[in-house]
Every structure is written in C-alpha cells, then in structure tokens.
A = this chain, B = another copy of it.
Amino acid sequence: MTKKVLIVGLGLLGGSYAMGLSQKGWQVDAIDTDKYAIAYAKERGIIQNGASEHFEHLVQEANRIVFALYPTAFVEWVKQYRHLFQKGLIFTDVSGVKCSIVQPIQEMLPPEVEFIPSHPMAGREVSGVQNANTEMFRPANFIITPTEKNTDAGIAFAQMIAEDLGFAHICELTVQEHDKMIGYVSQLTHAIAVSLMCASDRTDLAEYTGDSFRDLTRIARINETMWSELFLENREILIQEIDTFTNTLETLKEHLQQQDSEGLKTMFRTSTARRSAFDKKR
C-alpha cells in the first residue's frame, strides 16, 4: 500500500520533506499559496499533485498531513479549514515552538482528528522549495512532543516520517521540556549572535576575524519573519534564559574589575568541562 501525505506549505522545509518522502516511495501532494512553488515541485517530481487555490478536495481526501507553515499561520490555517478534515486524519507540523500552539490546536479539532506535534531540528540560511534538499536531515534531531491527547498511531506516524527522511536521532519530549530546551540551545544562541552584530558596526574588522568569530556569528544571518515569531511565541522562557546568561556574563565582568584571576580561571575550568560533554554525545 502506497504511503500518502499532503504537505501544507511548500517552502524550504516542506519542499525538503516532499523531496525526501517522494524518494522513499510516498505519494506526496502539496498546497502552497505560491503557484510557482507548486509548478516547480510538480515539474521535478517532488510532488504528484498540488494546488495554490481550490485545494479543498486535497484536504478532504487526506488522511495524513504535514503542516510546514510558520507557527501563527499554522494555527490560523487549522482554524479556517478544520471543517474539511476527515475522520481518522492524523497530522503533524514542523514548528520550532510548541507550548503556544499545541494546546490551542488540539482543542479546536473535530473528534477523531489527531495532531501529533513534532519538530525537525534542521534548517538552512536559504528558503524556498528551490533550495530543497534532504542532506540537512542526516545529522539532525527529530523531536516528537506527544500530549495526553495523542495515540500510538499518531506517534508512529511522526516516527515513520522522521525515519524515512533519515534523521540521525529521533526522541520524545514533553511540550514544556521542548520549549525550555529550545529556549537555551537555539533561541538564546541566536539572540546572542544577533546582539553581537547589532551592538556596534564593526564590519571594518571583517579582515581580522578568525574562525571563532565567524562560527559564533554565523547564525546572526536570520530569517526575520520566522525568528520574530519563534522568539515571541516562546518569550517567557527566552527572557528567563537571557537573564541567567546576562547575570553570568556580569559575574565574569566583576572578576575583570577586581582583577580576580582565580575567579576567571574557575569559570574557564567549568566551561571547558561542560563543553566537553557536548563533544562526546555525538
């Protein structure tokens, strides 16, 4: 039996899902507001059918959907079109925040329709189906965040997607654990890189910078629409992370002001030891 899925939102991530799943023998259909994205993907066999308008029949026929939309657009879409969902539909998403979207969506669903939230921790600095590629999934984590409303069938669907796309590591977290983790390992680091770039215009120093500076600021090139959504949807956790980080940087500054060499060395030993743990795990 052919596995079938409808992808709503055929950007970089939706397009890469479509490409990877098609390669694995799935029948992939897609909806996107951009008719050129649909035509592009159809022409290249990335999808079989697609529509940018009059797409109701695609939704009505679907019993598996992946939403690859920005978080707020995702919530709005479900609100507007949920009446089209068939019984037995299971769908997942790709959102980088969970607390602010999972409960609202799960609560507005008709009976026998299941939303199993998931987050592929993969992305690139480019966008659009034209840049679709499945290489970015290979080293990446795929996180499933089931709630008490999810079933084994729902979780199995998300797992199958992740396996067929070739993610290195598939795991489960609660919605709350996910957002707290993402606030630290992803959002705080992006906030730091952006602030480092915005603090002052030092582009005149470009010729003097080494790898460490480039590594640290690579993520300062950032999709403003997506990241402002992700930051705002997770703002309470991110504000807390910024405060914790800033307090620690202030401690380091106090060691400098007091010329406290031992205080600095203690911090350096701690950071060296902890950073080693991040090397070993992979």
Residues of chain A touching chain B, judged by Cβ–Cβ distance below 8 Å, are: 121-122, 139-141, 143, 169, 171, 181, 184-186, 188-203, 205-225, 227-229, 231-232, 235, 238-239, 242-253, 256-257, 259, 261, 264-265, 267-272, 274-278, 280-282
Contact = CB atoms under 8 A, between A and B. Distances in A.
Contacts of A122: 210
B141 A265 contact: no
Contact of A193 (B143, B216, B247, B250): B216
A207 B171 contact: yes
28 contacts: A121-B210, A171-B207, A181-B208, A184-B202, A184-B205, A185-B205, A186-B212, A189-B196, A191-B252, A192-B216, A194-B271, A195-B251, A195-B252, A198-B267, A202-B274, A203-B277, A206-B277, A209-B278, A212-B219, A214-B278, A215-B216, A224-B264, A224-B265, A231-B256, A239-B257, A242-B249, A242-B253, A245-B249
Per DSSP, chain A at the interface is helix
A186 B213 contact: yes
Q: How many copies does the complex hold?
A: 2
A33 to B, nearest CB: 21
Contact of A219 (B121, B196, B216, B281): B216
Given A141-B207, A269-B224, A274-B203, A212 B194 contact: no
A185 B210 contact: yes
Given A200-B244, A278-B214, A208 B192 contact: no
Nearest to A210: B121
Contacts of A250: 246
A208 B189 contact: no
